[in-house]
Structure 1
Amino acid sequence: MNLNKVMIAGRLTRDPELKALPSGKNICNFSLATSSTYKDRDGKTIETTEYHSIVVFGPSAENSAKYLLKGQLALVEGRLQTRSWEKDGVKHYRTEVLGDKVLFGPKPASDGPAAVTVPEYPEEEINPEDIPF
């Protein structure tokens, strides 16, 4: 059995770039940054960031170019593909996510990352009888 499926949720590192292929089909390129944190042996918190190249086609490309902005959260579902090319006698490789679905997060605030309102968790105990289901 083979499976090539990926889901990436992160922030756009640049505005999407829309192009038309010779066939007339639209293609959109953008990149997402994802961060993770861990503690090293000394207990110090380390944050790492990965950058992912995203490619989408057709209506998803048009919508991504129209509605996504640098700094915005997005979730991309698709598959991995590695392409290669030769330039000046040197072979280059790039692994990209070919996106099938793109979900848009909130627009970024004008002064920084996207403003997200997170409800506060109540400090008092929750009575199970108060839950409506």
Structure 2
Amino acid sequence: MYQQITIVGYLGNDPEMRFMPNGQAVTSFSVATSNKYTSNTGQRVDETTWFRVSVWGAQAESCNQYLKKGRPVLVIGRLRPDPQTGNPRIFNRQDGTPAASFEVTAQQVKFLPFGSRGAGGGEDDFGDMHGSPETDDEIPF
């Protein structure tokens, strides 16, 4: 069996990196995706979904170094369910309303160029999605 999720969105916070006892780096950050549509009643709906992403190893160090809040990214990975329920992690917000957290373990993170927001009918333009360099030697600066 196999599962894969692809997310294209914006970082909701600066990445946070830590090291495991064995010295392996892990970086965490949140990514917001949006879906805009018109409902059956003619109402304009703006839907935002948040994902909590964990990146491991050398890629974790690159993400921590080069990503910042607001940066567009493409994440390819797998969903990590709540071990007790097998579903997204459910919690209550500070205001008491229920919420869910979608946890993703990244296999690949591509750094996308900033698009021209609002151009092309309100959708984001990510340009060509060649993404981040595969190795540190390919970083142009």
What residue in structure 2 maps to residue 96 of structure 1?
A: 103
Letter in 1 for 2:103: E
Q: Distance in 1 between matches of 2:80 and 2:34?
A: 22
- The question of 1:26 aligning with 2:40 is answered no
What residue in structure 1 maps to residue 47 of structure 2?
A: 48
Query: What residue ranges of structure 1 are gaps of 5+ in the alignment?
Result: 86-90, 107-113, 121-133
Deviation at 1:74, TM superposition (A): 0.2
Q: Distance in 1 between matches of 2:119 and 2:9?
A: 21
Kindly tell me the number of residue pairs found equivalent between the two proteins.
Answer: 107
Q: Distance in 2 between matches of 1:78 and 1:25?
A: 18
CA contact (8 A) 1:31 1:54 kept: yes
Q: Distance in 1 between matches of 2:101 and 2:21?
A: 22
Percent identity of the aligned residues?
32
Q: TM-score when scaled to structure 1?
A: 0.71
What residue in structure 2 maps to residue 14 of structure 1?
A: 13
What residue in structure 2 maps to residue 116 of structure 1?
A: 116
Tell me which structure has the larger Cα radius of gyration.
1
Secondary structure of 1:82 counterpart: coil
RMSD of aligned alpha carbons = 2.7
**Residue by residue, what CA displacement relative to the aligned partner does 1:67-124 show, whole Å, maximum 9, x if unpaired?**
0010000000011112448xxxxx9795411001100023xxxxxxx4538998xxxx
What residue in structure 1 maps to residue 77 of structure 2?
A: 78
- Between structures 1 and 2, the one with greater strand share: 1
Q: Distance in 1 between matches of 2:25 and 2:40?
A: 48
Q: Distance in 2 between matches of 1:9 and 1:84?
A: 26
Letter in 2 for 1:116: S
CA contact (8 A) 2:50 2:102 kept: no
CA contact (8 A) 2:25 2:61 kept: yes
Q: Distance in 2 between matches of 1:43 and 1:31?
A: 31
CA contact (8 A) 1:84 1:94 kept: no
